[in-house]
Amino acid sequence: MPLRVSVIGGGTITAAETDLAASVGRELAARGHTVVCGGRGGTMEAVCRGAKAAGGTTIGILPGERPAEANDYVDHPIATGLGHARNALVPLNGDAVIALAGSAGTLSEIGFAAIYDRPVVGLGTHDVPALEIEPVETPEAAVDAVEAALEDGP
């Protein structure tokens, strides 16, 4: 069953983190899943680029008021005008969340994922003992874990 998977992570990332995010996007798209993200740079651009390279579909939930603010790999930009408050909408619009490296914004999205009862899989991200984040080591394992968490449907 195709899923919408929110991928969260930092806006400023290293080359290795860029490669990892792109691999997650490729893996999601190869399995027929749609990527949901914040729609701008860093992790968001890399995951969308990876998804598009594998023929996937991407949704960007933007903090600003202009759809044109989306990165070049977003198919469906959603302008919110909410600034950081849009962080609630990113996990809400996915069936599950894959969290990559990031800082305060990523932590807030992990928190909202818990509030909205979305499974969270962590790939090189924060360890938040109070929340259930399933740690994995590879993009393939991340998508496997998301699919397993939702095998009975979202």
State pLDDT tens for residues 117-137: 999 999 988 888 878 899 999
Gyration radius of the chain's alpha carbons: 13
Q: Token pair for residue 134? A: 């399933």
Q: Is the pLDDT of residue 79 over 90?
A: yes
Instruction: Please give the average per-residue pLDDT across 96-109, as a whole number.
Output: 95
CATH of domain 4-149: 3.40.50.450
How much of the chain exceeds pLDDT 90, in percent? 90
Q: Is the pLDDT of residue 152 over 80?
A: no
Mind listing the pLDDT tens digit for each residue in 11-27? 999 999 999 999 999 99
Task: Give the predicted TM-score (pTM) of the model.
Answer: 0.96
Q: Is the pLDDT of residue 154 over 80?
A: no
Annotate 96-150 with DSSP letters as a single string.
EEEE-S-SHHHHHHHHHHHHTT--EEESS----TTS-EEE-SSHHHHHHHHHHHT
Whether 38 contacts 86, CB under 8 Å: yes
